[in-house]
Structure 1
Amino acid sequence: MKSVRLPTILEIVCTLGLFLVIVFSFTAFFDLPIQLALFISWFLVILLGFKLGYRYEELQKAITTGISNGLEAILILVAVGALIGTWIAGGVVPTLIYYGLEFIHPSIFLLATLIVCSITSLATGTSWGTVGTAGIAMMAIGEGLGMPLPLVAGAVLSGAYFGDKLSPLSDSTVLAASLSKVEVIAHVRAMLYLDIPAYLITAILFTVAGFIYGGNNTDLEKVEFLKLALLDTFNIQIWMVTPAIFVIVMLAMKKPSVPSIAIGALLGAIWAVVFQGMNVPDAVGTAYNGFSINTGVEFMDKLLNRGGIEGMLGSVAVIIFGLGFGGLLEHLGVLKVIISKFHSFLTSAGNVTLSTIIVAFFANVFGCAMYVSLILTPKIMGESYDNLHIDRRVLARNTEVGGTLTSGMIPWTDNGIFMAGILGVSTFAYVPFMWLSFVSIALAIIYGYTGKCIWYVKQKQGEGQIQQTF
């Protein structure tokens, strides 16, 4: 049997360089689907695997293993697509938009968006569910108020990822903690030292931006027109938001995400029949086909014609190809080889923190999924923290900062595809406004190099004792 070996740095650089060339050329120059670029990239890594001595059967298993690690994300994506379609048809989203326009003052809208999405994400433990529910409502309100949509998307994502990182219900929080060998609650507490100041700084930034954009730029006639158009098209009543309350409560009670969201979608279809006067086949059909209406008003049609499982199939394909690509890279030990070249650099808390964030970011870039980043980073960096006697709570925290908070910044990752598709704003357009992510990254690096909020583990009299240094 032919022996296998790890790839060399030159082989890795050539393979990943070709990957980036293919992805950027397909999307930026040839206007070809990114799904095709990712599929072709599989075979680049497979060829590398052949050169390293692997059999095709092993490589195919690595692909399927990588895909299986993200199947829950795919199921959630499908369920959220169904939910958005039926919630628009049932008047849930239009009601949220209407009351948002009615009560949220333009100058504090961005701050309100940050807070609403933070609370929703904290309660539900899912950034995807938050963006697919509260997020699309806030985007619609922001458009009605004349706000720059990339800025609104930045506020939505900052709130969604803040709650996702701190909620014990979040799969990313549990994954980062468990793979770093840290208790979930201990991980959440450690995150607070970073997230609270980062959140306050982010809130100030969005407040200032809100006063800049929410004053003279607000077209009150457009706001009133949109409210009247919603009233003419839908039955707007406060109890229309019952399906949204149900889903939030179910997720807050730690019920499984997919059935909770699916039941919420079913309630949306029922609401469409009972309160909006749709026939049963059309109402149920919005779960797959999405909501479609022709009001004669371009702005309204653009706002409401979305959702459905069918609209998510492109994103599902990206996630499948991305997870398969990440599974191949993990099986070949690509990131392990890269990090092994920097062991001499990993001599301080600051250097280890910076390296962890970089590794987590590039695991997103080349693994194409947040799950790949959260799985690989603790495995790759854990030994470096142990060698420096740094408590693994710091590893878990830095993994979240580099993995979770950057996952929506890359157009071909699961998060990047989902967020751009749901919010209707391209990834590169909203990235500059993901202020919570940038502030958190900066604070984590500052903590590392100053020693603030870095905890060390010392052994005394045969027992582990944690020494905290601030």
Structure 2
Amino acid sequence: MSTNSSAVRLPTSMEVVGLMAGFIAIMFLFINVLSLPIQLALFASWFLVMGLGLRLGQTYHAMQTGLIKGIHNGMEAVLILITVGALIGSWIAGGIVPSIIYYGLNVMSPNIFLAAAFVICAMTSLSTGTSFGTAGTAGIAMIGIGHSFGIPLPLVAGAVISGAYVGDKMSPLSDTTVMTASLCKVDLIDHIKSMMYVSGPACVIAFTMFLLVGFFYVDGSVDTSRADAAMMALEQHFTISPWLLLPAVVVILLLSRRMPSIPVITLGAVLGIICAVVAQGMPTLDAVRTVYVGNAMSSEVDFLNTLLNRGGILSMLEVIALILFALGLGGLMEQIGILQVICNRFLTWANNAGRLTLSTLFGGFFGNFFGGAAYVSLITASTITEKNYDQQGIDRRVLSRNTEAGGTVTTPMVPWSDGGVFMATTLGVSTLGYLPFLWYHFLVLAISLFYGYANIAIWRTESVADESTSLTKAEASS
């Protein structure tokens, strides 16, 4: 079917506002009123966008092409998530994740509890790539231990969530990290290296703050029996050894050397199977099966049962569906010109690196505030501002770094977002209660803004660098 391109127009500002209002209404109705999965809300939003597209003169086939293109651009994330699910299942069964948790708990001391909780949750999330899994498992244990220490629970929750989002933001196993790199068209390892410029100082400062406050609040003679019980249960159900940390070291080293993510993570899953057979004495077929269905175990410690009964490719199917719907929505919005209109609005204002950083952070928070999920925020932060970075000659590694800061990090700050609801419900502390103690999150946002306005770690693209060099040579010759 031929299309008269002259009949197709861009949406007006009022139409964009109307679409956003409709999108917000759908998200609120599905998630908060009807308690339906966010996947269905995103799926319904497809047809809201298509309705506006038809009004603008788009054909259904053109919009379907845009939708498929959006999904196609994110398929690498889907493939990596499949391998990540396989890796988590075999790493738990092989004793790799239990060993990481065990040695993390070993550093527990009343005086340094808050700092240790931050580190343990950071280690757990870095090794599993999930803030929800970390908070719902190790985080619950930290809440219980912190309560016995007499530390205010909002402060403990702040340390737990801060640590949990270190891995959610930085781990190559995190779905949001992979999705952001894919959306921004940045290599996964380059994306992580770029974030280190912000997350490194933020982690050090947050750790120092939790350490100092811990010394102020905690009595050194408090009982640590809960941590001891968890360590004992780990020793009963798994062979714990420093050698079991090697697969994690191998995977991180290979990824840091820019090896392809999918085969490296798959290699990690195979190493997990070998550890499960050799170190844990698991039958070979059962060890292989954990790659698909995840690990299964039962102990006397509830949080270990929750933490270690997970993983496998099956565990990623809901997340994969969510990503496909989100990518499809982004492709539709790109096709009908919504993102172009919003981008043009930002372009008139965001004329330097500082304002551009602020606009990206705002775009991420906008997605969490109105969309209620990190996946939506990553789309709004990246897609709305990506052309601005290109036009100003700023490397997309800066875009991906700011997208994670505005999207992933602000998720638990919004009470009705998936992250805010999960953290408040799981840890038993309201969002407004723990919000002042999300020190890692606030530091990431503050450092990102400082870098933007101070022009620190704002890399330029080669074309702009070449152009600047040519201008310099021309001036010299004249």
- Could you state the TM-score of these two structures normalised by the residue count of structure 2? 0.74
* 2:303 equivalent in structure 1: 299
Structure 1 residue 157 displacement after superposition: 2.1
Provide, for residues 45-76 of structure 1, a one-character-per-residue CA deviation record: whole Å limited to 9, x for no partner: 11111111111111111111111121121122
Residue number among 217, 240, 259 corresponding to 1:255 in the alignment: 259
Q: Distance in 1 between matches of 2:337 and 2:22?
A: 18
Q: Does 1:132 align with 2:136?
A: no
Q: Secondary structure at the match of 1:404?
A: helix
Of 250-259 and 298-307, deviating more is 298-307
Q: Give matches, 1:54-453, under 5 Å.
A: 54-105=58-109, 107-108=111-112, 111=115, 130-132=127-129, 143-145=140-142, 146-147=145-146, 148=156, 151-158=159-166, 161=169, 192=197, 198-211=202-215, 219-341=223-345, 345-346=349-350, 351-359=355-363, 361-362=365-366, 368=376, 370=378, 373-374=381-382, 376-380=384-388, 382-383=390-391, 385=392, 392=394, 397=398, 399-408=399-408, 409-410=410-411, 435-445=439-449
Structure 1 residue 442 displacement after superposition: 2.9
Structure 1 residue 322 displacement after superposition: 0.5
Going from structure 1 to structure 2, the CA distance change for 1:38 and 1:226 (only over 3 Å counts) comes to: same
Structure 1 residue 289 displacement after superposition: 1.3
Q: Residue 378 of structure 1 aligns to which amino acid in structure 2?
A: E
Q: Distance in 2 between matches of 1:256 and 1:218?
A: 47
Q: Secondary structure at the match of 1:291?
A: coil
Q: Distance in 1 between matches of 2:195 and 2:310?
A: 39
Q: Distance in 2 between matches of 1:313 and 1:173?
A: 20
Q: Distance in 1 between matches of 2:221 and 2:451?
A: 39
Q: Does 1:7 align with 2:11?
A: yes
Q: Secondary structure at the match of 2:296?
A: coil
Q: Distance in 1 between matches of 2:240 and 2:315?
A: 26
Q: Distance in 2 between matches of 1:58 and 1:215?
A: 66
Q: Secondary structure at the match of 2:129?
A: helix
Of 441-450 and 64-73, deviating more is 441-450
Going from structure 1 to structure 2, the CA distance change for 1:234 and 1:154 (only over 3 Å counts) comes to: same
Going from structure 1 to structure 2, the CA distance change for 1:76 and 1:220 (only over 3 Å counts) comes to: same
Q: Distance in 2 between matches of 1:12 and 1:133?
A: 34
Task: Count matched residues.
Answer: 435
Going from structure 1 to structure 2, the CA distance change for 1:263 and 1:431 (only over 3 Å counts) comes to: farther
Going from structure 1 to structure 2, the CA distance change for 1:104 and 1:363 (only over 3 Å counts) comes to: same
Q: Is the 8 A contact 1:315 1:418 kept in 2?
A: no
Q: Distance in 2 between matches of 1:101 and 1:190?
A: 27
Q: Residue 273 of structure 2 aligns to which amino acid in structure 1?
A: A
Q: Secondary structure at the match of 1:151?
A: helix
Structure 1 residue 245 displacement after superposition: 2.2
Q: Identical aligned pairs, as a percentage?
A: 36
Q: Residue 407 of structure 1 aligns to which amino acid in structure 2?
A: G
Q: Residue 404 of structure 2 aligns to which amino acid in structure 1?
A: T
Q: Distance in 2 between matches of 1:225 and 1:349?
A: 51
Q: Secondary structure at the match of 2:11?
A: coil
Provide, for residues 186-238 of structure 1, a one-character-per-residue CA deviation record: whole Å limited to 9, x for no partner: x978984x666545543433334544676579651111111111111112222
Q: Is the 8 A contact 1:139 1:149 kept in 2?
A: no
Structure 1 residue 404 displacement after superposition: 1.8
Q: Is the 8 A contact 1:92 1:243 kept in 2?
A: yes
Q: Distance in 1 between matches of 2:326 and 2:217?
A: 37
Q: Secondary structure at the match of 1:103?
A: coil
Q: Secondary structure at the match of 2:282?
A: coil
Q: Is the 8 A contact 1:357 1:403 kept in 2?
A: yes
Q: Is the 8 A contact 1:358 1:402 kept in 2?
A: no
Structure 1 residue 131 displacement after superposition: 4.3
Q: Residue 403 of structure 1 aligns to which amino acid in structure 2?
A: T
Q: Is the 8 A contact 1:113 1:159 kept in 2?
A: no
Q: Secondary structure at the match of 1:45?
A: helix
Q: Residue 241 of structure 2 aligns to which amino acid in structure 1?
A: Q
Structure 1 residue 252 displacement after superposition: 2.1
Q: Distance in 2 between matches of 1:351 and 1:170?
A: 26
Structure 1 residue 344 displacement after superposition: 5.3
Provide, for residues 96-146 of structure 1, a one-character-per-residue CA deviation record: whole Å limited to 9, x for no partner: 22222223445446546767898x8xxxxxx98654399968985554452
